Amino acid sequence: MTMPEHPVAIAAIDAPPRVKPSNYPQPFASRMAGRRKQPLGDLFGLANFGVNLTRLAPGAMSALRHAHTKQDEFVYVLEGHPTLRTDEGGTRLAPGMCAGFKAGTGNAHHLVNETQQDVVYLEIGDRTAGDSASYPDDDLEMVFVAAGERKIQHKDGRPY
């Protein structure tokens, strides 16, 4: 008997955590402490977009505040009250609330857990080729190199 390549369905909470907690160089990687991502879409072999179940402990953040050039993103809050920070400022979210981040607008976003309770949300991002990302609050940028390859560097182009 052969096992199927992918499960039919799973309880999201049972998905394995992402092996590499952060793709940022230091000191930014350390700022992702308290963030746990469980990739869901990958478990089913999805290639066109990723879905993560992400948990933020008190004080944790979803990512550095950033904007993508090609890839859309979307979040749906399942538990807790994250603060969404964009160019418009901060907006406190609640379970059942959602937000979308259209590629190419330059409006940078992230979620920060400023409460004493965990925050849990679904995040979806597509994998359109040629994407890069800007980080208005930090000295880094992510630039497209080639299909499937991006690099993170200082804003003046020096490597980390």
Residues that bind a second copy (CB under 8 A): 4, 6, 8-13, 40-41, 43-49, 51, 71-72, 74, 76, 84, 86, 88, 91, 93-94, 96-103, 122, 124, 126, 128
Q: Give the shortest CB-128-to-a second copy separation in angstroms.
A: 6
Residue 128 sits at φ, ψ, to 5 deg, of -55, 135
C-alpha 92/C-alpha 22 separation (Å) is: 25
Q: Which is nearer to a second copy, 59 or 90 (CB)?
A: 90
**CA end-to-end span of the chain, whole Å?**
48
143 in helix, strand or coil?
strand
Kindly state the DSSP code that residue 115 receives in the 8-state scheme. Answer: S
R_g over Cα of the chain: 16
Q: Give the shortest CB-115-to-a second copy separation in angstroms.
A: 16
Q: Which is nearer to a second copy, 24 or 101 (CB)?
A: 101
Q: Which is nearer to a second copy, 30 or 48 (CB)?
A: 48
Residues 127, 103: contact at Cβ < 8 Å? Answer: no
Q: Which is nearer to a second copy, 126 or 138 (CB)?
A: 126
Q: Give the shortest CB-94-to-a second copy separation in angstroms.
A: 8
